[in-house]
Amino acid sequence: MKTLVLVEHDNASVKDATLHTVTAAAKLGEVHLLVAGSGCAAVADAAAKIASVAKVHLAEDASLANQLPENVAPLVVALMADHDAFLASATTTGKNIAPRVAALLDVMQISDIIALDGPNSFTRPIYAGNAIAKVKTSDKKLVITVRGTAFDKAATEGGSATIETVSGGMAESGLASFVSAELAISERPELTGAKVIVSGGRGLGSGDNYRELIDPLADKLGAAVGASRAAVDAGYVPNDYQVGQTGKIVAPDVYIAIGISGAIQHLAGMKDSKTIIAINKDEDAPIFQVADIGLVADLFQAVPELTQKL
Amino acid sequence: MKILVPVKRVLDFNLKPRVKADGSGVDLANVKQSMNPFDEIAVEEAIRLKEKGVATEIVAISIGEAKAQDTLRTALAMGADRAILVTHDGVAEPLAVAKILKAIADEEQPGLIILGKQAIDDDSNQTGQMLAALLGWAQGTFASKVEVSGEAVNVTREVDGGLETVALKLPAIITTDLRLNEPRYASLPNIMKAKAKPLTQKSPADYGVDMTPRHETLNVSEPPKRQAGIKVASVDELVAKLKALGVSA
């Protein structure tokens, strides 16, 4: 089987999410990558070095600069004439583009897979991870999104794929245009790839408390920072902090949940973490049912003490 | 302009799903089912656009078993003007749903179709994007802000890195994220009035759509259970545990 993986990038470097997806694609067959963008030859060079990649398709056009699905999907559809499966990461970029490709190919997408059970059988979580479904598709071509935490990263060195320049299938749809982006800039590790995450919830009471208590602990541990939906809805931190069913899915070595009660929608985003630590003053909080180590305490005293003693 | 809002009836978001012992799926017998929360946000956004004078009519649509009528009545009670129920027993996959919605859009000629970004039962996150592809329209997914001006709509999207704003030519597809708005509750008088609002019944055959699923569910199981761990009594104990895990400054 020949697979085509959408490379996520910022026209400069390959995002880690893609490395997980390459590992899933390699289980299906030969791995080809699509680098679609503008002025992104360096991305293609880096992509060609990823282990187990056979070919990189480089599509450069001004219309592809911002990964608008209206422009990217027709390009993918054209390339799918020579591929059997299209895989994208289950990120906001992949989730935006892949279903558009699937519909144009008349294929029913398999979303958010966590395992491959056979050439057309896959495992995926449903109901916020409260149930696990094994599904088999009858479609001839496959369109799949991949949950990164379920697959290891492919090595960024060791491959020597050929780079083929795509010449057709690129056009401005005239339907949509990019206006602006407000992207968070942080010195801290990215949430989805971090080894340690410190996450704060409604128990913190305010954005100021979040920054006074969570940030110093995260900085001391070199950790990424996250939040529950309640903390994001309350405006303590921006949306890109959110861990959960509809936010980011994370699986760090250590997840420290502070002032988070543990709604099922939050647990869906972090319960595959290796070790979960919870600090909460309510000993009946559901977070303690999944925590490996729990501390029932007032976070306003416990967290500064923890930061100081570590 | 006219706005279409597709809504799905799903297991109430407050309830924990129970996997059936025979592994055939999640048990939906005798449990409360409600409108998918993201679809409530879609209905609310359509109503707000009508209140602003941008929209003139809101049509709620549901594809599913006859009981989905309750979900449509909720949308009507919130403020939708009329409803279309496409009755189908059994699995309705996003691709088939998108095909029905395309056929309805061809008839109704809306300026916007607003959908929830995902349903909290199958978590597919596909229907809006598929519908946009089938109609050849622009899509603004995971919206946290919607501003219609003239022949275009600006949609601010919640993306992994933060926020992104795109300008879409109308007609267009919007899928809602959590922070777009807070849906209103239907008042009792409006619930009563909704009973008199028009609801048209259709079938997938009326739209020439084949509902045969492409996916076969082989098995549904409980996820591996995490064992509750230990409780420590003090920060000092927690520090010791963290150091044992290799977590320290």
- Phi and psi torsions of B35, nearest 5°: -70, 135
Q: Quick one: pLDDT band at residue B225, thresholds 50, 70, 90?
A: confident
Cβ–Cβ gap A221/B247 under 8 Å: yes
Burial class (CB in 10 A: 0-12, 13-18, 19+), B217: middle
pTM of the model: 0.95
Q: Which of A104, A107, A239 sits opposite B179 (nearest CB)?
A: A239
Distance to chain B for A227, nearest Cα, Å: 14
Q: With contact defined as beta carbons under 8 Å apart, do A183 and A55 qualify? A: no
Distance to chain A for B246, nearest Cα, Å: 10
B94 inside 8 A of chain A by CB: yes
Q: How many Å apart are CA A89 and CA B224, to the nearest integer?
A: 24
- Phi and psi torsions of A186, nearest 5°: -140, 145
Alpha carbon distances (Å) from A20 to A96, A278, B199: 18, 28, 47
Amino acid at B80: A
Cβ–Cβ gap A175/B220 under 8 Å: no
pLDDT exceeds cutoff 80 at B140: yes
For an interface test with B, the pick among A91, A122, A293, A301 (most B C-beta atoms closer than 10 Å) comes out as A293
Cβ–Cβ gap A109/B158 under 8 Å: no
B240 inside 8 A of chain A by CB: no
CB contacts, 8 Å: B214 with chain A: 107-108, 137-139
Cβ–Cβ gap B247/A254 under 8 Å: yes
Q: With contact defined as beta carbons under 8 Å apart, do B23 and B46 qualify? A: no
Q: Quick one: pLDDT band at residue B224, thresholds 50, 70, 90?
A: confident
A139: closest chain B residue by CA: B214
Q: Which of A108, A126, A182 sits opposite B93 (nearest CB)?
A: A108
pLDDT in tens, chain A (310 residues): 999 999 999 999 999 999 999 999 999 999 999 999 999 999 999 999 999 999 999 999 999 999 999 999 999 999 999 999 999 999 999 999 999 999 999 999 999 999 999 999 999 999 999 999 999 999 999 999 999 999 999 999 999 999 999 998 899 999 999 999 998 888 898 898 899 999 999 999 999 999 999 999 999 999 999 999 999 999 999 999 999 988 899 999 999 999 999 998 899 999 999 999 999 999 999 999 999 999 999 999 999 999 999 9
Among the listed residues B96, B170, B82, the one whose alpha carbon sits nearest the alpha carbon of residue B131: B96
Give the angle subtended at the CA of B228 by the CAs of B223 and B229, to the nearest 5°.
135
B226: closest chain A residue by CA: A290
Amino acid at A105: L
pLDDT per position as a tens digit, A256-304: 999 999 998 899 999 999 999 999 999 999 999 999 999 999 999 999 9
Burial class (CB in 10 A: 0-12, 13-18, 19+), B32: exposed
